[in-house]
Amino acid sequence: QKEVEQDPGPLSVPEGAIVSLNCTYSNSAFQYFMWYRQYSRKGPELLMYTYSSGNKEDGRFTAQVDKSSKYISLFIRDSQPSDSATYLCAMSVSGGADGLTFGKGTHLIIQP
Amino acid sequence: DVKVTQSSRYLVKRTGEKVFLECVQDMDHENMFWYRQDPGLGLRLIYFSYDVKMKEKGDIPEGYSVSREKKERFSLILESASTNQTSMYLCASSLAGSGNTIYFGEGSWLTVV
């Protein structure tokens, strides 16, 4: 069983729709959860960061963590064509230097 | 803003050549990382470093080495490039104890022919 599962998509939605992106994981020791956005031929950029369970909101983006279900989500409200990108979830056990465990990314397309 | 700079964006090298990929960060981060990203395989950690002159193997270190002589600089070395090392290479850095909120560079696209 892979540590982090993420549907690769593509997920195609019309402009203005609410988008839901999800990851499931198997390691209950994960405590730090992140979402990265990656445009084509660019490096990933940090979008959202959450510690432990709960919700975090930043503008049109909301990140949710449900540790009991080992499930994290990213919601995008009022989606724009500029949101078209690959979204990667990532998580780690500690604040140490051992790097993150990444999902393989979901390719999102917002149709104008 | 954190800036992680990878000096070479696109490289074409021949099989057997020694290849250096350079990375510099300007935020005094302790931790630095090298990943490669391939379609269908996602991001895989090659090496990381938590201090100057320290290095740790990641998930796929074979065929690679690294050097960290200064805090801000982390180099990835392909001792003898092979075609299966054609990939996008991503350097990243993070502050110690930050929960690994990693900041990435723009990536280096390496083609080995």
Highest mean pLDDT among A58-67, A90-99, B96-105: A58-67
CA distance B38 to B87: 6
Query: Phi/psi of residue B13, each to 5°?
Result: -130, 160
- Three-state SS at B84: helix
- Cα separations in angstroms, A21 against A1, A28, A50, B96: 20, 20, 15, 29
CB-based contact (8 Å) between B110 and chain A? Answer: no
Over residues B76-101, mean pLDDT: 90
The stretch B66-80 carries a mean pLDDT of: 97
pLDDT at B39 over 60: yes
Residue holding tokens 């990693």?
B102
CB atoms B103 and A46 under 8 Å: yes
**Average pLDDT score over residue span A38-55:** 91
Of A42, A95, A99, Cβ closest to residue B97? A95
Choose the mutation target among A46, A47, A52 for the interface with B, i.e. most B CBs under 10 Å: A46
d(CA B37, CA A36): 14
Residue B32 scores a pLDDT above 90: yes
**Contact check, Cβ <8 Å, B50/A96:** yes
Structure tokens at A94: 């500690």
Q: How far apart are CA A22 and CA A31, in angstroms?
A: 17
Decide if pLDDT at A59 tops 80.
yes
What is the mean predicted confidence (pLDDT) over A86-100? Answer: 82
A56 at interface of B, judged by CB pairs closer than 8 A? no
**Is residue A1 predicted with pLDDT exceeding 60?**
no
pLDDT band at B2 (very low <50, low <70, confident <90, very high): low
